[in-house]
Amino acid sequence: MAAASGETSGEPLPIPENIAGVVAYITIIPSVVFLFLEPFRRNFFVRFHAFQHLYLWVAGFVFAIAAGILSMLLQLIPFMRVLVFPLAGLITLAWFFLWVLLVVKAYQHELFKLPIIGDLAEQQAAA
């Protein structure tokens, strides 16, 4: 949760790095593009947010598969069917607020690290 250290290649970015960090969270496409496109690929801040978003996307995909399987299993138990829809809504809402938090922190020029995923993203961005 430390502020960005400003480790860059010295080459100016076409857009401010905090805006590039925000754009990296829009979809996975900008995240991947920023990892390969010069001069973004040499900017630690942009690389960190791109990697964190990619890892978060993978974690969300795995979580969605697990939640779908659990939802199908809960449908088999008659009195548990009532919980499936509200539980899915709460999970989706929590996921949305997590995304908003990451976008706001990137805009504020902060390296906000999620547990586990943030450490992995920091290691990859520094490599």
Name residue, tokens 């138990």: 77
pLDDT tens track for 109-118: 999 999 999 9
pTM score of the predicted model: 0.81
The domain spans of the chain are: 17-126
Q: How far apart are the first and last CA of the chain?
A: 20
Report the C-alpha gap between 22 and 112 in whole angstroms: 12
Task: Give residue 10's pLDDT band: very low, low, confident or very high (50, 70, 90).
Answer: low
